[in-house]
């Protein structure tokens, strides 16, 4: 469903790029559009950018959520089809680590900790990870799914953080442009 607008954007960006600086290659990006699940009205987007250092930056924006902390993870299957988003499987954990905070030495590749939602129902989060890539490989985010949970991740209960129901889900797709952050979400 997202393919046509993304492809169109890619084409116009390529045309613009041809006229501008042909030598500066954009960083690889991927995008997940968060859709409401489990009867919630949560929406949002997550932009992944693989930086020249090899680390991947994760920038999330969430709307229409309840105030407070909510568990936020990359799950292993890019499948949000189930009404409760259980189709996305468990946390992405190619490293075979225990569940923990992203700051801890050992944690799941997909552990993003919590995202804090304000009184206006909105929240943002930015972090970088050296356990994820946008480009193909064993740690690639492409083809996985971002899950926004009902409850706070306690960062210790195995393997889920006891974060409760899945209130938002978005499949991660690679974007052809390097400009995923410019894509607007209604
Ligand atoms: Cu999760």
Query: Tens of pLDDT along 18-53?
Result: 444 445 778 999 999 999 999 999 999 999 999 999
Cα distance between residue 157 and residue 130, in whole Å = 23
Query: What is the predicted pLDDT for the residue at 12?
Result: 46
pLDDT < 70 regions, the chain: 1-23, 177-186
What lies within 8 Å, CB to CB, of 59 at 6+ separation is: 46, 47, 49, 124, 125, 126, 181
Domain boundaries, the chain: 28-178
Per the CATH hierarchy, to which homologous superfamily does domain 28-178 belong?
Superoxide dismutase, copper/zinc binding domain (2.60.40.200)
If you measure from the C-alpha of residue 33 to the centroid of ligand 1, how many angstroms do you get, rounded to a whole number?
Answer: 16
Query: What is the predicted pLDDT for the residue at 40?
Result: 98
If you measure from the C-alpha of residue 147 to the centroid of ligand 1, how many angstroms do you get, rounded to a whole number?
Answer: 5
Contact (CB, 8 A) for 183 and 10: no
If you measure from the C-alpha of residue 76 to the centroid of ligand 1, how many angstroms do you get, rounded to a whole number?
Answer: 10
**pTM for this one?**
0.84
If you measure from the C-alpha of residue 18 to the centroid of ligand 1, how many angstroms do you get, rounded to a whole number?
Answer: 41
If you measure from the C-alpha of residue 20 to the centroid of ligand 1, how many angstroms do you get, rounded to a whole number?
Answer: 41
What lies within 8 Å, CB to CB, of 161 at 6+ separation is: 71, 73, 99, 111, 153, 154, 155
Query: What is the predicted pLDDT for the residue at 25?
Result: 78
Query: What is the predicted pLDDT for the residue at 18?
Result: 43
Cα distance between residue 84 and residue 180, in whole Å = 27
């Amino acid at each position: 469903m997202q393919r046509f607008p993304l492809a169109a954007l890619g084409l116009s960006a390529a045309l613009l790029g041809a006229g501008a600086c042909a030598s500066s290659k954009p960083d690889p990006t991927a995008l997940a559009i968060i859709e409401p699940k489990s009867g919630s009205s949560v929406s949002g987007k997550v932009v992944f950018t693989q930086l020249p250092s090899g680390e991947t930056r994760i920038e999330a924006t969430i709307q229409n959520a309840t105030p407070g902390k909510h568990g936020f993870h990359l799950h292993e299957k890019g499948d949000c089809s189930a009404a409760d988003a259980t189709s996305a499987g468990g946390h992405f954990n190619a490293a075979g680590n225990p569940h923990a905070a992203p700051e801890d030495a050992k944690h799941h590749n997909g552990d993003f900790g919590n995202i804090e939602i304000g009184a206006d129902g909105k929240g943002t989060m930015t972090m970088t990870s050296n356990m994820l890539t946008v480009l193909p490989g064993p740690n690639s985010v492409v083809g996985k799914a971002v899950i926004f949970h009902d409850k706070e991740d306690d960062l210790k209960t195995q393997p889920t953080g006891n974060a409760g129901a899945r209130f938002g889900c978005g499949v991660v797709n690679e974007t052809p442009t390097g400009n995923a952050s410019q894509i607007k979400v209604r």
